[in-house]
Amino acid sequence: MSSTRILDHPLVDCHLSVLRNKSTRPAEFRQSMHRLSMLLAYSATAEMKTSEYPIETPIQKMHGRQLVDRVGLIPILRAGIAMVEPMLDLIPTAEVWHLGLYRDETTATPVHYYSKLPSGSPVELAFVLDPMLATGGSACLAFETLKEWGVQKVKMLAIIAAPEGIDKIHREFPQVDIHCCVVDKQLDERKYIVPGLGDAGDRMFNTTG
């Protein structure tokens, strides 16, 4: 059964406030996004499997530990790109595969325009990365794509989530665990998260006009 894990930490509260503030400049926005993604990644990887292997310190021989599963990072373009580097800092051996999805502003439904997944064997564990989990439409489309690829274990990482998106994932993909920094109140009539932070991609890449 799917679970939602909210990262309760004072540093999360502080960096979220920077992201939400409409006067935050793009460079500072990206910096806080990076830091929050790092904190979220640290929490979401706590249950990853490891195995022993022999190493030698300057003092003596011993056993270290290494990750067992082949890991894939699946950023949903374009905002998900910001969450890749913090994940790679923690898991440098991870593979990065891109999915291009955008929301039709008229219908609020996801449009799948790009997929870069290999034809060979799938990763054992995939992290779907998207700063904003709003309706859940893009996330579920990504999960379906990964299911067709053959991925057995998928986790969703989002900075801010809406109850509507969480409910959709729990309903349609109950095997997917959600990790987020905060769950906001609701979606507005335009399907934006309230209070949210606006369009994460526009604010991150300075394309607000």
Q: Which domains does the chain have, with CATH numbers?
A: 4-48+68-205 (3.40.50.2020)
Q: How far apart are CA 182 and CA 29, in angstroms?
A: 17
Check if 202 is active-site. Answer: yes
107, 109, 207, 208: the active-site residue: 107
30, 35, 70, 103: the active-site residue: 103
Check if 35 is active-site. Answer: no
Q: Is-above-0.85 flag for pTM? A: yes
Q: How far apart are CA 161 and CA 181, in angstroms?
A: 8
The β-bridge partners of 6 are 180
Q: How does pLDDT run across 120-162, given as a tens digit for each residue? A: 789 999 999 999 999 999 899 999 989 988 999 999 999 999 9
Q: At what angle do helices 137-149 and 163-172 cross, to 10 degrees?
A: 30
Check if 184 is active-site. Answer: no
Check if 199 is active-site. Answer: yes
24, 35, 78, 199: the active-site residue: 199
Q: How does pLDDT run across 49-75, given as a tens digit for each residue? A: 999 999 999 999 999 999 999 999 999
20, 35, 69, 202: the active-site residue: 202
